């Protein structure tokens, strides 16, 4: 897919998903998965309320139809229909007159950004509430307000989407996106969009690894998946948690708990040679679902690759994380960087130099300049020499790329040329 096409497609998908009020359960999440199914053959799983998943229990399903705060004059001063961020996500149903002082205990605003609505949740403690701009809050002068929340919190299901692409190997590459946020674009619609198009692309080609895409509610979703799929976990060899991939910031990679996994090295290599600024961060047990994949009982090689990481942009978890905040070209850039990383992991094999004693004579095979005496070898000649020198069965192509400082793609090309002349052979197994 060319860059221009990718830009438009991913951005349009995000536009479609934007208005829906998602949560960790409920119809908003289901509806979003149905939209993704128009692009990839997503399998939807429904896990009943009450299912025990490790230390957690699948919660009741939450749905919301309407909610508002009405002034004494009958004006809706806060209205869910205008922004689904206005409702404290997972608010229990409520209806009644509330004194201003009591009401304010149920209101959340951002004094430092007086025009922005914050996003707040109360999944695991029954509560009701509204999120509103500081300006709205400051204008509440009545003694009493009419509060109306038409929601339900009942036994039902936790929904998640899964797409498995079988590869040559049973070993898996996991890409996990939380998909539970309402109208927030960078976190998490950008991840859902890029992951969908990545899945679409990979499903149309032959891959060495199998790929598993998860579109799940944050925390409870990954815990649920891990709990219901313990038999599959040992097959996950590499993984990336994807979120916040549409803003204008540079790429940030948070390493796996292991710290030097192949995925850590592949991401670092691609970012280092990308020509763009980037930052590599050490693992920490805070963040997105890598927290669960990296728990000590699993310790999976799953990192987190974002543009600006969660919590580090002002718009994070506010109404300002909107369709203007994500950029089509940044989504495409993230998409191509993920692809480049996958390309490294797919092709990171070890080879054996079939003429390990001395250099083979490259000139007679047309791989080396015939006029001698010049100052430098060409870049291509250097790639050939590095691959030959380190192809002792111990070094993978990524090892060679790292040690030589040459981009993986050049090393990979050189290896292919050497394979073609039988100067290299595959390491069996």
If one asks whether residue 337 binds its own copies (CB under 8 A), the answer comes out as no
If one asks whether residue 121 binds its own copies (CB under 8 A), the answer comes out as yes
Q: What is the rounded distance in angstroms from the CA atom of residue 164 to the CA atom of residue 158? A: 19
Q: What is the rounded distance in angstroms from the CA atom of residue 418 to the CA atom of residue 425? A: 9
If one asks whether residue 422 binds its own copies (CB under 8 A), the answer comes out as no
If one asks whether residue 364 binds its own copies (CB under 8 A), the answer comes out as yes
Residue-wise over 282-312: b if at least 16 C-beta within 10 A, else e?
ebeeebbbbbbbbbeeeebbbbbbbbbbbee
If one asks whether residue 252 binds its own copies (CB under 8 A), the answer comes out as no
Select from 12-20, 51-59, 150-158, 243-251 the region that touches its own copies (CB under 8 A). 51-59
Of 55 and 143, the one with the shorter C-beta distance to its own copies is: 55
Of 34 and 299, the one with the shorter C-beta distance to its own copies is: 299
Minimal distance, residue 107 CB to its own copies, in Å: 12
If one asks whether residue 105 binds its own copies (CB under 8 A), the answer comes out as no
Residue 52 class from Cβ within 10 Å (0-12 exposed, 13-18 middle, 19+ buried)?
exposed
Side-chain-side CA neighbours of 131 within 13 Å: the count stands at: 24
Select from 167-175, 208-216, 239-247, 357-365 the region that touches its own copies (CB under 8 A). 357-365
If one asks whether residue 378 binds its own copies (CB under 8 A), the answer comes out as no
Select from 29-37, 205-213, 239-247, 285-293 the region that touches its own copies (CB under 8 A). 285-293
Q: Which two tokens stand for residue 74?
A: 């009958």
If one asks whether residue 404 binds its own copies (CB under 8 A), the answer comes out as yes
Task: Reduce the DSSP state of residue 171 to 3 states and report it.
Answer: coil
Residues 6+ apart with CB under 8 A from 280: 252, 253, 255, 267, 268, 271
Q: What is the rounded distance in angstroms from the CA atom of residue 190 to the CA atom of residue 317? A: 14
Pick the binder of its own copies from 92, 280, 385, 419 (CB under 8 A): 385
Residues in contact with its own copies by the rule CB under 8 A: 53-56, 89, 108, 118-125, 127, 219, 222-223, 226-227, 257, 284-286, 291-292, 294-299, 310-311, 316-317, 353, 355-361, 363-364, 370-377, 382, 385-386, 388-392, 404
């Amino acid at each position: 897919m060319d860059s221009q096409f990718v830009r438009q497609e991913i951005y349009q998908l995000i536009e479609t998903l934007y208005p829906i009020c998602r949560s960790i359960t409920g119809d908003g999440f289901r509806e979003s998965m149905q939209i993704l199914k128009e692009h990839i053959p997503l399998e939807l799983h429904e896990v009943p309320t009450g299912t025990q998943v490790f230390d957690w229990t699948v919660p009741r399903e939450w749905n919301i139809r309407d909610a508002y705060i009405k002034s004494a004059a009958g004006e809706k001063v806060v209205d869910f229909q205008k922004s689904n961020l206005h409702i404290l996500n997972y608010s229990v149903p409520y209806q009644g007159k509330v004194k201003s002082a009591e009401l304010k205990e149920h209101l959340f605003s951002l004094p430092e950004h007086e025009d922005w609505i914050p996003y707040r949740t109360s999944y695991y403690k029954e509560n009701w509430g509204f999120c509103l701009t500081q300006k709205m809050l400051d204008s509440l002068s009545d003694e009493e307000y009419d509060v109306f929340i038409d929601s339900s919190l009942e036994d039902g299901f936790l929904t998640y989407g899964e797409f498995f692409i079988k590869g040559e190997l049973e070993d898996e590459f996991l890409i996990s996106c939380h998909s539970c946020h309402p109208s927030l674009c960078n976190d998490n619609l950008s991840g859902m969009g890029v992951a969908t198009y990545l899945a679409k692309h990979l499903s149309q080609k032959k891959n060495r690894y199998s790929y598993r895409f998860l579109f799940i509610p944050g925390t409870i979703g990954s815990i649920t998946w891990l709990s219901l799929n313990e038999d599959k976990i040992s097959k996950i060899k590499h993984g990336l948690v994807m979120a916040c991939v549409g803003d204008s910031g540079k790429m940030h990679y948070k390493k796996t708990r292991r710290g030097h996994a192949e995925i850590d090295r592949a991401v670092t290599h691609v970012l280092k040679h990308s020509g763009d600024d980037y930052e590599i961060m050490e693992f920490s047990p805070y963040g997105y679902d890598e927290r669960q994949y990296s728990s000590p009982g699993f310790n999976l090689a799953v990192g987190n690759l974002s543009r600006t990481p969660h919590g580090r942009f002002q718009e994070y978890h506010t109404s300002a994380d909107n369709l203007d905040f994500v950029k089509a070209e940044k989504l495409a850039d993230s998409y191509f960087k993920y692809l480049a990383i996958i390309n490294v992991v797919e092709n990171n094999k070890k080879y054996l130099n079939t003429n390990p004693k001395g250099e083979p004579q490259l000139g007679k095979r047309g791989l080396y300049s015939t006029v001698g005496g010049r100052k430098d070898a060409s870049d291509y000649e250097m790639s050939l020499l590095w691959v030959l020198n380190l192809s002792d069965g111990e070094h993978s192509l990524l090892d060679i790329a790292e040690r030589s400082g040459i981009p993986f793609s050049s090393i990979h090309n050189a290896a292919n040329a050497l394979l073609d002349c039988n100067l290299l052979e595959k390491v069996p197994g």
